[in-house]
Amino acid sequence: MKSPEDFKNGLVLLIDKPVKWTSFQVVNKIRWMLNKKLGIKKIKVGHAGTLDPLATGLLILCTGRMTKRIEDYQSKPKSYTGSLRLGSTTPSYDLETEIDQTYRTDHINSDLIRQTALKFIGRIEQLPPMYSAVKKDGKRLYELARKGQTTELKPREIEIAAFEITNISGLDIDFEVRCSKGTYIRSLVHDFGQALKSGAHLTALRRTAIGEFSVEDAMTVEQFVESLD
């Protein structure tokens, strides 16, 4: 078991984030348990890259002095597996909000799906979703979106190293993505639907790796709590 001094001196924790938890909730839980189980009253804990509440998978947490390295971990490439549904969109680009528009899909076949995915490989420009934590004039975009407000967004340059279609079942598609820091998979899915002259929204997402760190080596929040006993 790690000692209070170990956590203060700095540790890197690999956590498998559960669905419907925010990344901030995971940080708060870990900090609170360090206080409750080990009596550490004041300690810095931060995460290296937000995951949406509906996403699961690898979350890197840094404690104590290792929080100074958070930006180093944030800059590493990310890997994901996910699922999308063709023919409809939502304002949040995922299942956080209800379907707002439906589109034709009778012109789409498996060859077109795979060929279109290839067009996203490389350096591309991407707009963040309105339902995101990006700040505009000091306010989070999701705060504006939930009030029904919109604002002009600037595209960001990102890099998609791989966008592989792993399964096609009617309108439901499974995929794997390797990408640079700052990539929104929800936006990638939304743009993919548009490129197919239809629509699409994300239905599931799991982060499997950040740089050399794998979710296979991560603990659940419950396992981390048990390790403190």
Decide the pairing of beta strands 56-63 and 45-47: antiparallel
3-state secondary structure 13-62: EEEEECCCCCHHHHHHHHHHHHHHHHCCCCCCEEECCCCCCCCEEEEEEE
User: Which H or E run includes 221?
Assistant: helix 221-227
On the 0-12 / 13-18 / 19+ scale of CB atoms within 10 A, 103 is: middle
* Cα pseudo-dihedral 139, 179, 70, 146, rounded to 10: 20
| Rounded CA separation 174/184 (Å) | 17
User: Which H or E run includes 85?
Assistant: strand 78-86
52 an active-site residue?
yes
Say which of 16, 52, 94, 191 is annotated catalytic. Answer: 52
Contact predicate 29/219, CB 8 Å:
no
- Residues sharing a CB contact under 8 Å with residue 181, sequence separation 6 or more, in sequence order: 49, 74, 75, 76, 77, 78, 158
Query: Which active-site residues does the annotation give?
Result: 52
